[in-house]
Amino acid sequence: MSGIASILFKKGYKVQGTDLQESIYTKQLMKLGVKVYFGHRKDNIKDAKTMVYSGAVSSDNEEFLFAKQNGLKIFSRGEMLANLMEESIGISVCGSHGKTTTSSLISFLFFRAGLDPTFVVGGNIRNLDTNVCLGSSKLFIAEADESDGSFLMLSPLFEVITNIEEEHMDYYKNLGNLKNAFLKHICNIRKDGFLIAGRDNKIIKNILTTHKKDINAQIITYGLGSPCSIYASNIHTDNGKTYFDVTFKGKNLGNIQIFLLGIHNVQNSLACIAVGLLNGIKWEKIAEILPDFKGVNRRFEIKGKYDGALVIDDYAHHPTEIKTCLKMADELKPTRKIAVFQPHRYTRTKYLAKGFAEALKEVDIPILVPIYGASEKPIKGVSSRLICEHLKNLGVSALHFEEREEVVNYLKKIIKPDDIVLTIGAGDVYKIGEELIRKECG
């Protein structure tokens, strides 16, 4: 949403917006000159002609109701993104996990290669200190959102699908509906377009096999070995960097390094490399640029240290993402892993409480804090204590705190040098790590 607001503002529109609380994105918009209100009230939009809303806005939102009752033009986030991309060479990235990092990698590569793209991604690219850019070329890179089906409004020339997993079941209800939505999205790729798909994922592999005759796009698969169109081999890590060889269409291109940990980031990089090669960026240029990529805010972001322990923040809000985050932490060889997890949305907690417990059982000290509901109303009997109960059934003792200050005070007492403290979740759990570090500096 902040990226769309920024692009519209730079195109000359008068733009204002509302959010629940201040963030890095609202600060960037205000610095740009966009008026930002905090707290939803109908008076905020009394002079507006058009509203663009996100999937986090409920149908009974005061501003949304006022817009409907007063005849404003109303666009969903996906509709506006589709309008902005319509006349462009669209490159979109979707998938259950990894789409922010992958779309950021592609944006960074194209930007540094001098292709002057427009891009809108879901996280702040650390090197560029932004999540959006209005370029002068026809290239438009966007992170697409499957959570509410809005990615079906896009018709890109290049479509990356990182992976597909049982997620957003509050919207899709079952895996069949989710798979059908991704298939429809694939069928929206423009004539002579490309599908760049993560073949290591079982559901994607099944779609490519079962529905090959329905897919008109040229298929480029990526993964950790043959028969993928582009694959990585000889993968190893050293001093926080990952090295691997790249083979594309049977030809070994050479070795590359990335300043990112985890096999999933090797896969994300392969998708980026494929899109770059398909758009005429030479391998030598790609191998020169990608090692400079420093990642995205809130994606395994090292925030600092407290009493010798690393404090790391990650946006993970699905069991698979938490497992991936913990694997990256293991690569740093900590004495103990301490994780503070804040579940995101009541519906997701209801569906995945057991899965969250399975992921967190590998943590030495798991700590749960209250659910970040976003736009959702509480569901009776659903709280983060559900995860504690499932952990108990697995023989793991978990702690639960209601207040942020309680967590910070507890961490101060138990942290040892060479521990890793992870704040995990899509809400404001990162503030716990920041507060801890501030106390260390104080």
Q: Which residues are catalytic?
A: 99-100, 143
402 phi and psi, to 5 degrees? -90, -30
Q: Provide the pairing of β-strand 230-238 with 218-223.
A: parallel
Give me Rg for the CA atoms of the chain.
22
Nearest Cα residue to 233 out of 221, 246, 220, 250: 246
Q: How far is 122 from 94, CA to CA, in rounded Å?
A: 11
Nearest Cα residue to 189 out of 90, 272, 107: 90
Q: Is 57 left (phi over 0), alpha (psi -120 to 50) or beta?
A: beta
Number of Cβ within a 10 Å radius of residue 293? 24
- Residue 188's SS3 state is coil
Q: How far is 141 from 240, CA to CA, in rounded Å?
A: 28
Whether 162 and 98 have beta carbons less than 8 Å apart is answered as yes
Q: HSE (CB half, 13 Å, CA atoms) of 173?
A: 2
